[in-house]
Amino acid sequence: MLVQVLILNNMNLSGYMNPYIYVLFLLLLPAKINRSLLLIIAFVTGLIVDYFGNTPGLHAAACVFLAFLRPVTIHLMFRNHEFEVKEEPGPASIRIGGFLKYALLLVFMHQLILFYLEVLSFNHFFNTLYRVVLSTVLSTIIILIAMLVFSKRRKK
């Protein structure tokens, strides 16, 4: 969150790309977390980013939407994987390819809600969609790099 608030919120690459890696916190919560608790955590996380970014409720709404979709996404994407009670859906448990698909989908949905709420119009639909796609790709790349750098290796 500190990296997001202090560094990445002040980054705007060519006016189209805004990296948001704070969603990694929501992506890595335990897979079997209580849904109500997940929504509350997402709302508070979004409010913190909103407070420091002076964006009244945009991130809170996008985070709650991500939290709403997360259990369904985990269930649909990883039907064959049985998560332990406190196991997170990270690269160690679902492999890097599974994590990439999971993160890409949820980050895209987060960015979609965030940017369309920001412009509050479909007048510049394709311009906004372009921003969503570029920011999703950049955010997902930064998230993957962070996961690879900071994740613990499993011992065989």
Q: What is the mean pLDDT of residues 58-79?
A: 94
Comparing 132 with 92, the larger pLDDT belongs to 132
Report the C-alpha gap between 33 and 38 in whole angstroms: 7
Percent of the chain past pLDDT 90, that is, above it, reads 51
Q: What is the mean pLDDT of residues 94-104?
A: 92
Highest mean pLDDT among 16-20, 31-35, 147-151, 152-156: 31-35
Q: Assess whether pLDDT exceeds 90 at residue 112.
A: yes
First to last CA, the chain: 32
Would the pTM count as exceeding 0.85?
yes
Q: Assess whether pLDDT exceeds 70 at residue 15.
A: no
Q: Assess whether pLDDT exceeds 50 at residue 156.
A: no
DSSP per-residue letters across 73-107 = HHHHH-TT----TT---SHHHHHHHHHHHHHHHHH
Around 28, how many Cα atoms within 13 Å sit in the side-chain half-sphere?
Answer: 14
- pLDDT value at position 154? 47
Q: What is the mean pLDDT of residues 74-91?
A: 85
What mean pLDDT, rounded, does the chain reach? 86
Q: Assess whether pLDDT exceeds 80 at residue 120.
A: yes
Report the C-alpha dihedral over residues 91, 22, 27, 71, rounded to 10 degrees: -170
Task: For the chain, count helices (H), then strands (E).
Answer: 6, 0
Taking only the tens place, the pLDDT of each residue in 34-64 is 999 999 999 999 999 898 888 899 999 999 9
Cross-strand bridge partners of residue 17: 13
* 115's tokens: 């940017």
